[in-house]
Structure 1
Amino acid sequence: MKTRTLLFILFLTAGWESAVGAQQANDVTENHVRDLLAQMTLEEKVGQMTQIDFSVISVENGQDADNPIDQAKLDDALFNHHVGSILNTPTTPNNKAQPIEKWRKMTQLIRDTAAKTRLKIPVIYGIDAIHGATYTQGATLFPQAISMAATFNTELSEKAGEITARAVKASGLDWDFSPVMDIGRQPLWPRFWETYGEDVHLAGAMGSAYIRGHQGDDFAAADKAPTCLKHYVGYSYPLNGKDRTPAWIGERALREYFLPPFQAGVLAGAPTVMINSAEVDGMPGHANYHYLTEILRGEMGFSGFTVSDWEDIIRLYTRDKLAASPREAVKIAVMAGVDMSMVPFDYSFYDLLLDLAKTGEVPLSRIDEAVGRILRVKLQSGLFERREPSIPVAGNFATADAQAVNRQAAEEAIVLAKNANGILPLSKQTRILVTGPTANLLSVMNGGWTITWQGDAEQWYPQDKLTLLKALQQKTTGKVTYVGGQRYDEEINIEQAVAQAREHDVVILALGENTYTETVGNIDSLTLPPVQLQLARAVFAAGKPVILVTFGGRPRIITEIAEQAQAVLLGFLPGMEGGAAMADILFGDVNPSGKLPLSYPRAANDVTPYDHKPMEAFEANQYRPLYPFGHGLSYTQFETGGLTLNKNSIALGDSVEVSVKVKNTGKRAGKEAVLVYLHDLVGSVTRPVKQLKAFKKVELQPGERQTLSFTLRPEDMSFIGVDKRRIVEPGEFEVMVGAETVRFNVLAN
């Protein structure tokens, strides 16, 4: 008993010391912020709120120069305009990945120059490292977010965050514009693939795990870096599906579906937020005081700083016509709650805000508030103590361990959607015809923000990585023939493909999308391009078994093809290891375990999420996707059963413990994600037919069984009520796992 008592006292002491240490560190930071603010001139403060693109300090054609920084321009930025942040690569818009030593030299010059300024306030350098250090040559590039979501593996997401942070810091960079926490419920949207899919809980869980890995317990650590939640909020749900166009989201829906993942990101510790480039209900994101100040800070407790997206403050005047002048646009945005402006090509924001502050139209208190937030994050990031890249390249960049994690992520991201008559896995002696526009390109497996903004510069992709075709050729001992072009849009000889199909045992038909992001990726329909449909129909007419493989950022309509194919594998954007992972699955060296983080539509205009309302599956209405949310096959079989709850009735505010058994009933080892859904049977606001509330992924040997436990907390039972506040109502709930359903009651107090 004395030993237990001593251990308990030690535990409490350690916890108290940790809390005291954290408070002391916070006090030191706050004192430093106050001290700096007291010393800063108005010009220095406004400069901290200004973020410029690298092109502003670059020599001409800087992306190809050994030293792309023009020292005179850099001096002007830091000494005359006191710029607080720089982003991007040399040189916009033709930016591309740079060698890591070049990055280290560039950022070192910026650090050295900032150290010569009056107050020695460091620049925070931001980069879109959205699936690895995307703008550093040779970096480990993971599956994009939509594919990471398909793994249903938060441990992989956390490891991806950890590895990305190391690569960013080894590159000499400071700040990662990731993850996207807006949910993907509009598949036309060209940034759909940057989301973690359509589900609120999945997005929050995967994004929070990424943040934990990226930031650790202290993002001032040498191998950690701050993250940035994007794009707050509602950007992902444009009514017409085009990028940077209006969303029509009522506040109840906003609070029910779109805010919770951001709240999860705030709770995970993300210290920065990037703002929605479009508008919600007629109010541009950069002018929305209610969202940026009342909700984000007043309700969600966010204490970091907000940064505008690309050129979006001036667009309040040039595009949105919300402001009568550029000057008014700056005033509106800053007073709404924008702390830092991604200007990005000049010092117009600096000049206009300086004038607004001098006239009192923007109070000095608001300037101090914004600058204090920026300085706080810089201090928390350890930038004031850092005078050189914080970690060496060796052991931190593109390591064998990182490669192994990336390969596992790609393997778990791929979804086996159909496997008629067990045609897969293939024998390695199978004679295979490979055709289709996505068969022999690395870019189509990576998407935008890969080496370049649009990710379409195939010539700059690493030559040691394998396309699907090259991976098949490397793994098989059978005949592999390829009919296709070297570019996505290169015409394929359909007659040759059909003739070759007749000479082979099976056809692997690789379809999908070219790379894109933002407005460049706008499309008018989810239907596949006609040339792909023509190729597919001709190949089917040859009479040989067809295996459909798709790569792309959104669910293009494949119904006609999928119904005729013997097998369907959905790759989405599995990253640099996608080709090798897909080949491993096709030949059975890897057992597929991916599950859909979205409802794959059957038709272009039939987009219904899995957590639909009852009226969406009532009478003539149906939830009838081609493949439902959570769908994904394996080469083994899993059985869930024995679903039980620790209580049949609980009081308001209590939790419920859920237990379920999962068994591998097949003949080979495999991984299975067990999904726990909840349904509130009756509510004062209509409730979805089910909502994902928990999941776990397990690996089981043949015949192995595990008992999994989950906790459903009061917040899992809550919803946004009539008064637009989150509530839990007494009543009956259903817990659903696999084919089983168990009910419990929440009793009124």
Structure 2
Amino acid sequence: MIALAASIYSCSPTTANDFNNIEKIASSNLSNEEKARQIVQKLTLEEKVGQMTQITLDVITKGKNAFESDEPLSLDAKLVKEAIAKYKVGSVLNTANNRARTPEKWNEVITMLQKESMSEIGVPLLYGVDAIHGTTYTAGATFFPQQIGMAATWNPELNRIGSEICAYETRASSIPWTFSPVLDMGRNPAWPRIWETYGEDVYLTSVMGAAAVDGYEGKNNDLTNKNAVASCIKHFVAYGAEKSGKDRTPTYLPEIELREHYLPSYKAAIDAGSHTIMINSGIINGIPVHANYKILTTLLKEELGFKGLVVTDWADIENIHNRDKVSATHKEAVKLAINAGIDMAMVPYNYNFTTNLIELVNEGEVSMERIDDAVTRIVQVKLALNLFDKPYTDIKDYPDFGSKKHEDAAYKAASESITLLKNNKNILPLPKNAKVLVTGPNANSMRTLNGGWSYSWQGEKVHEFTDKYNTILKSIQNKLGKSNVKYAAGLEYVNDGQYFEEQNINIQEAVNAAKGVDYIVLCIGENTYTEAPGNLDDLYISKNQEALTEALAKTGKPIIMVLNEGRPRLISNIEPLAKGVIHTYLPGNFGGDALADILVGEVNPSGKLPYTYPKYPNALTTYDHKPSESSEKMEGMYDYVGSTSIQYPFGYGLSYTDFDYSNLKVSKSEIAGDESFTVSVKVKNSGKRDGQEVVQLFSKDLYASVTPDVVRLRRFDKIDLKAGETKDITFKVFGKDLAFIGQDMEYVTEKGDFKLYVGDQEVDLKVTSTVKFPKNSNKGIL
């Protein structure tokens, strides 16, 4: 074994003639698929396996070790040479020291890496980062709301624009690949990554995900456009369905549930043309997804027809051995993952993957056909991005980086995401001469506005990069005047990594500060986190925050409760104490400004909840639950809204104006199972303010061979209505939209009776024939 490993690098490297041939192939008029196939044939086994290897940036920088880089950041020429010349590494990811860099520094680093790769291998590197709500690891970039907030806008076009801006600013740093969007389902409120999702509904997630792919990759997915990046839909599949609600713990999932609620969002993004996909780090029914051939090849590559690059998540091939105990050695873990369908390994700290995989090929345990397939997929993405011709960019070609135009779009997204949940006796908007106390641990923090994946992984470094932006406190001071605004935090979050601990608890100071004010704006929620550091044992908001709320309520001053959190922390013990409740989610750098404008009525709130907000820990439900899960008799859509087991329902959100619905009609009262029809409704702004309304179409299957969901979202549209204005809204619907996964794992629309709901209107629909819509491949993948 040792002798074999030592001889690996004695093979002849790519020759100058091969370099010329690769360049010639890359610049030819052949299809990218054929170009990639021919380029792969020019590579040695070592170079092919290197293409499949992805390391993190800290491995090749000057520093104490592979986990810590020196500052200021610089590449280590010897380590770069080792990675690219010796191990032929084809991809690098992440930032160094978990810290954002300027676009100038990014261009410097990536230009050097690309020059080394082109001179040593003739194939460019593929650099990737988690640019998930803006160019996450770049100083000065424009930050949008996190995905859960973008879902709360119910505005796919805003989501497309945000992704387009993120792509532009990411490519400005010579980074052509973003690990986004997340198309996991946020169906368990305890899960610490729920804020990275588009919420609990698979249709809303599918629409938003497809819009994000369109924004990242541009028109017709033309990645040769210097403003586009390759998207990476993640984490395939059913990540977030963990039984415990804790990150990367086991999932037990029947195939019927996977196909009904977890798979369609990925299919929508694949159909939208996404070039790459990242795999679920967890275990489904006892098998690590990274080692599951039926999921990675049978389902993803064969049934869904995904032709792009399949990349692991962080160290997940090693986890097959280290954590999941499915393989006795790391080498066996590599064999399982590559044979299952993995194309690129996010290693990320060593080169054992390359050594092991080369040995496995030489021993006949992994076929050259599988290697060539993987590398062809990788090279195709590099060709699509035009990296062979232009492996790096120049910041001078991106004059709109961090521009006012981009910031205005981020502000608009934040303002449309913020959701008004309670407004007793129209306590809001506040008068502009109001005297207010701003209090709570989230009141004066840019960190909590942005959340994780903001300048650093856990978001703890936000304060180093956000001097020019406004916290909630500063925004309210700017709006009402400093003389009208008092501030006393009451309590603060620990800022050294203990993300859920609180300190400087001085509730009495906040109570004393309430003297002489008209209103209390109480900003509560969570500190930043993601992944395992965000695991919770108790979904209730902290006892300290409850105590602060209760003490302030005793002052008799009306409380406006501002929720700044990544998931719905339970507030049932204190929500009755508030006259108004506003949910900001994680709105980004312009969230404070947007909230202040909503508080004083300069912006009419239009956000709607993308998940069900639970009331109790034993009542964690989704809107599309089964009839037997209901605590009340469910006859129609709006019985769900009145349920006593939830705080606020999915799709809910108030406005400063009123909207009336009337005249709901279907073009046909009876349809065949595969027939199309239209649904129309009149919507009137009957109030005195202009506003935006999200018109939502739900369906209810009254009886089915598999117990149906209570209701399902089928269409939505966000519209602008001036005061007194009426609009006719029409949705085109297909029989397949009413389908569900049957007992044979096929989509079926069954004949029978349905109800359709829009607003407070409902109409009957009859399906007269049963139609099956077969999937493309095998059954029984789980």
The one of 474, 483, 499 equivalent to 2:488 is 483
The Cα shift of 1:66 comes to: 4.4
Matches within 5 A, 1:403-442: 403-442=407-446
Q: Does 1:709 align with 2:711?
A: no
Return 5+ residue gaps in structure 1 as ranges.
Answer: 1-23
How many Å separate the matches in 1 of 2:83 and 2:208? 38
Letter of the 1:482 counterpart = Y
TM normalised by structure 1 equals 0.94
Change (3 A) 1:407 1:286: same
3-state SS of the aligned residue for 2:31?
A: helix
The one of 309, 325, 328 equivalent to 1:324 is 328
**1:186 matched residue in structure 2:** 188
The Cα shift of 1:151 comes to: 0.3
Letter of the 1:537 counterpart = E
**1:116 matched residue in structure 2:** 119
How many Å separate the matches in 1 of 2:348 and 2:608? 39
How many Å separate the matches in 1 of 2:585 and 2:391? 41
**1:302 matched residue in structure 2:** 306
Letter of the 2:197 counterpart = T
The one of 638, 648, 653 equivalent to 1:632 is 653
**1:125 matched residue in structure 2:** 127
**1:257 matched residue in structure 2:** 261
TM normalised by structure 2 equals 0.90
String of CA shifts for 1:334-383, please: whole Å, max 9, x gaps.
Answer: 11111100010000110000000011100111101111111111111111
Q: Does 1:201 align with 2:206?
A: no
The Cα shift of 1:624 comes to: 2.9
Letter of the 2:723 counterpart = P
The Cα shift of 1:98 comes to: 0.4
Matches within 5 A, 1:410-559: 410-477=414-481, 479-484=484-489, 487=493, 489-559=502-572
The Cα shift of 1:458 comes to: 4.1
The Cα shift of 1:392 comes to: 3.1
Letter of the 2:725 counterpart = E
Letter of the 2:47 counterpart = E
**2:24 matched residue in structure 1:** none
Range with bigger deviation, 486-495 or 671-680 = 486-495
How many Å separate the matches in 2 of 1:392 and 1:560? 54
CA contact (8 A) 1:223 1:391 kept: no
The one of 586, 596, 599 equivalent to 2:612 is 599
The one of 28, 53, 60 equivalent to 2:31 is 28
How many Å separate the matches in 1 of 2:767 and 2:644? 29
How many Å separate the matches in 1 of 2:493 and 2:742? 52
Letter of the 2:77 counterpart = Q
String of CA shifts for 1:193-228, please: whole Å, max 9, x gaps.
Answer: 000000000001111101101101212211001100
**2:780 matched residue in structure 1:** none
**1:210 matched residue in structure 2:** 212
How many Å separate the matches in 1 of 2:281 and 2:274? 20
How many Å separate the matches in 2 of 1:259 and 1:148? 21
The one of 39, 54, 59 equivalent to 1:51 is 54
3-state SS of the aligned residue for 1:626?
A: strand
The one of 742, 746, 749 equivalent to 1:721 is 742
Change (3 A) 1:703 1:682: same
Matches within 5 A, 1:40-439: 40-60=43-63, 65-91=71-97, 95-118=98-121, 120-216=122-218, 217=220, 218-389=222-393, 392=396, 394-439=398-443
CA contact (8 A) 1:276 1:285 kept: yes
CA contact (8 A) 2:447 2:459 kept: yes
How many Å separate the matches in 1 of 2:31 and 2:435? 68
CA contact (8 A) 1:108 1:388 kept: yes
How many Å separate the matches in 1 of 2:492 and 2:544? 16
Range with bigger deviation, 384-393 or 661-670 = 384-393
String of CA shifts for 1:40-69, please: whole Å, max 9, x gaps.
Answer: 111111111100011111111675544521
How many Å separate the matches in 2 of 1:678 and 1:27? 48
The Cα shift of 1:25 comes to: 9.6
Letter of the 1:111 counterpart = Q
**1:661 matched residue in structure 2:** 682
The one of 662, 666, 678 equivalent to 1:645 is 666
CA contact (8 A) 2:260 2:740 kept: yes
CA contact (8 A) 2:190 2:246 kept: yes
Letter of the 2:664 counterpart = L
Matches within 5 A, 1:602-621: 602-617=615-630
Change (3 A) 1:387 1:255: closer
Change (3 A) 1:195 1:681: same
Letter of the 2:738 counterpart = M
How many Å separate the matches in 1 of 2:626 and 2:33? 47
3-state SS of the aligned residue for 2:325?
A: coil
Letter of the 1:315 counterpart = N
How many Å separate the matches in 2 of 1:542 and 1:112? 66
CA contact (8 A) 1:435 1:483 kept: yes
Letter of the 1:58 counterpart = T
How many Å separate the matches in 2 of 1:432 and 1:492? 21
Percent identity between the two aligned chains: 44
**1:19 matched residue in structure 2:** none
Letter of the 2:82 counterpart = D
- Report the number of matched residues: 722
The one of 688, 694, 699 equivalent to 1:678 is 699
How many Å separate the matches in 1 of 2:318 and 2:540? 36
Q: Does 1:690 align with 2:711?
A: yes
Letter of the 2:45 counterpart = L
3-state SS of the aligned residue for 2:430?
A: coil
The Cα shift of 1:390 comes to: 6.0
How many Å separate the matches in 2 of 1:669 and 1:619? 36
CA contact (8 A) 2:443 2:523 kept: yes
How many Å separate the matches in 1 of 2:560 and 2:358? 62
CA RMSD across the alignment: 1.6
How many Å separate the matches in 1 of 2:632 and 2:569? 27
Range with bigger deviation, 367-376 or 392-401 = 392-401
Change (3 A) 1:234 1:387: closer
Return 5+ residue gaps in structure 2 as ranges.
Answer: 1-26, 495-501, 635-642, 771-782
The one of 37, 59, 71 equivalent to 2:40 is 37
Letter of the 1:425 counterpart = P
Change (3 A) 1:64 1:407: farther
CA contact (8 A) 2:185 2:239 kept: no
Range with bigger deviation, 365-374 or 392-401 = 392-401
